[in-house]
């Protein structure tokens, strides 16, 4: 009985050690296909927004991390209004080996789904995406994310029958 107990404990410890070692080695090998987005996972970021019409101070706090297996980048963003946080989006970037492109999905706090692809053009990450609201209505957008040494710009354009119309441009800087 005691031998069986020791064998079980040994097996659990071996599995635990293997899992820890495997996770550590996997985390050390991040996907090379996601390298154009790797800068996102180097810092926490914030974008200062214009004050609301009511005079409230607003910003976006964004945090990205590599997944534990190194094959995806997780993103979490929240709005901060007068120091109070409220969820904005949670999402994931990954490599789609069939399409041979980076894909992404964001879910917003109201249950809307954003999905699209990312391609590098020059030094800019072109995010072509569709936003599906909770009621199923959709809208098409293009975001141009341009990394700089210690910041990045996010320009978002609505796509319609007349082409593209810029709706917002914000600069994300390293959070202090």
| CB atoms near residue 115 (< 10 Å) | 14
Q: For the CA atoms of 143, 151, 93, 154, what is the dihedral angle to 10 degrees?
A: -10
Give the pLDDT score at 14: 36
Tell me if 34 sits within 8 A of 93, measured CB to CB: yes
Domain ranges of the chain: 1-30, 31-174
What whole-number distance in Å separates Cα of residue 26 and Cα of residue 99?
Answer: 24
How do 138-147 and 113-121 pair as beta strands? unpaired
Give the pLDDT score at 28: 54
Give the pLDDT score at 29: 80
What whole-number distance in Å separates Cα of residue 174 and Cα of residue 75?
Answer: 15
Q: What are phi and psi of 147, to 5 degrees?
A: -75, 145
CA 77 to chain centre: 8
Tell me which H or E stretch contains 14: helix 2-27
Q: What is the homologous superfamily of the domain 31-174 according to CATH?
A: Calycin beta-barrel core domain (2.40.128.20)
Give the pLDDT score at 115: 98
Tell me if 142 sits within 8 A of 128, measured CB to CB: yes
Tell me if 71 sits within 8 A of 65, measured CB to CB: no
List per-residue pLDDT tens for the chain, 176 residues long: 443 333 344 333 333 333 333 444 444 589 999 999 999 999 999 999 999 899 999 999 999 999 999 999 999 999 999 999 999 999 999 999 999 999 999 999 999 999 999 999 999 999 999 999 989 999 999 999 999 999 999 999 999 999 999 999 999 999 98
Tell me if 134 sits within 8 A of 158, measured CB to CB: no
Burial 117-143 (b: 16+ CB within 10 A, else e): ebeeeeebbebebebeeeeeeeeebbb
């Amino acid at each position: 009985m005691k031998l069986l107990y020791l064998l079980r404990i040994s097996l659990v410890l071996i599995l635990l050690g293997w899992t820890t070692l495997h996770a550590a080695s996997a985390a050390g090998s991040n996907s090379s296909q996601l390298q154009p987005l790797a800068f996102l996972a180097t810092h926490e970021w914030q974008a200062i927004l214009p004050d609301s019409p009511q005079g409230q101070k607003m910003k976006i706090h964004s945090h990205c991390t590599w997944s534990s297996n190194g094959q995806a980048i997780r993103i979490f963003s929240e709005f901060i209004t007068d120091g109070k946080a409220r969820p904005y989006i949670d999402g994931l970037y990954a490599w789609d080996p069939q399409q041979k492109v980076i894909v992404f999905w964001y879910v917003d706090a109201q249950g809307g789904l954003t999905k699209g692809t990312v391609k590098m053009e020059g030094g800019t990450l072109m995010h072509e995406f569709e936003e599906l609201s909770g009621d199923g209505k959709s809208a098409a957008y293009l975001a141009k994310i341009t990394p700089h040494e210690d910041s990045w710009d996010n320009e978002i354009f609505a796509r319609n029958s007349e082409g593209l119309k810029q709706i917002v441009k914000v600069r994300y800087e390293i959070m202090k």
